Structure 1
């Protein structure tokens, strides 16, 4: 996030500070060594899209949606949220994207071959 003058608005947090923030918001991060390794390998903000699902929602009668129509999520996590589960979701998504990318590439190559040879057959006497 940046300010109107282009300056980056979010403060830099060290790995231990990131772990403290996650724990302070209610996430079970496991052992410090595990959490540090995960955050160094994948990055806090890359994983944040995957733990967004586990962010708590306002309790009724509080509004569930903001003025812009987007669902409101709190900074805290629902009980029993675990960093290990967030990592499993990330790794599943990564594997799925990789496999789909490979399949799409094979289909694309076969399609180009088919189109190229079809045009070649039309051009030949």
Structure 2
């Protein structure tokens, strides 16, 4: 039997029974009217008396929990903007490079040929999924044009526009290593690192798109970061939110955009200094000053 549903005052009472302090009941009820009990409880995990307990450490307040939620909410707003920039950039880099390498000769549709891919079965499955995804774009004029004139075939630079970031990551992983390197080299990175980062970007984007919790979360895959970063920050764990934030900085298209991104992150961290635990985003042994310096130098 599942749990009995609770109304808003009952949800607040449940928090209180588990040891959460509520000084302003009206404000607390307002929080629960906007953010569900279940969602908020994920931000309270660090205050549990033990892993398997539903009770919280003394003096834990609902405001402390809500601060962590708001940090995540504000962070997702920043990330959505810069993840979109990264997504469009890598669609462009992959499409331009592979189209010129594979499709310069007639009939210019060699990107549909499984022989041009190292992971052939994976590519075939990916194309089946992509054809299904095209259904969601059936009302778009550019899709209608290619359906009517080219029997649904389209140049690679058109095809990538209907790929999600996750699909784009999988498409890149299908390519021969030489083609992957051709995309990665002008970006001053390796094929291995770019494969890893595209996967990680898709994970981060999906979490942001679905308003999933970022704070106090273990991320997979672990991200590949430069040796200099790891040596200068031995406490940095590569399966944490902070590692993913640094990874995104490396994957933005130019210095100006990178600086804008880091400025917004630093401003956010400064706004929440003392309100959230920075060790829960991935730097257990770093001071706040060190954390900001790591970001600035990324």
Partner Cα separation in structure 2 for residue 119 and residue 101 of structure 1: 27
Whole-angstrom distance in 1 between the partners of 2:42 and 2:82: 25
Residue in 2 that maps onto 1:24: 17
Equivalent residue, structure 2, for 1:37: 30
Question: Would the alpha carbon gap of residues 119 and 10 (structure 1) be closer, same or farther in structure 2, given more than 3 Å must change?
Answer: same
1:30 CA drift (Å) = 2.5
Deviation (angstroms), 1:119 = 4.6
Deviation at 1:89, TM superposition (A): 0.4
How far did residue 121 of structure 1 move? 5.0
| 1:113 pairs with 2:92 | yes
For normalisation by structure 1, the TM-score amounts to 0.71
Alignment counterpart, residue 77 of structure 1, candidates 47, 56, 71:
56
Which among 42, 48, 53 is matched to residue 49 of structure 1? 42
Kindly state the Cα deviation for residue 120 of structure 1 after the two structures are TM-superposed: 5.5
Q: TM-score, normalised by structure 2?
A: 0.32
Aligned mates of 1:96, 1:30 — CA distance in 2: 27
The structure in which a higher percent of residues are helix is: 2
**Change over 3 Å in CA distance of 1:119–1:22 after alignment to 2:** closer
Structure 1 unmatched runs, 5+: 4-8, 58-71
1:27 to partner: Cα distance: 0.7
In the alignment, what sits opposite 1:97? 76
SS in structure 1 at match of 2:44? helix
Rounded to whole Å, the distance in 2 between the matches of 1:51 and 1:77 is: 8
- Deviations 1:39-64 (Å, cap 9, x if unpaired)? 0100111111111221112xxxxxxx
Matches of 1:76 and 1:120, distance apart in 2: 57
* Runs of at least 5 residues in structure 2 that lack an aligned partner in the other structure: 106-298
Partner of 1:11: 4
3-state SS of the aligned residue for 1:81? coil
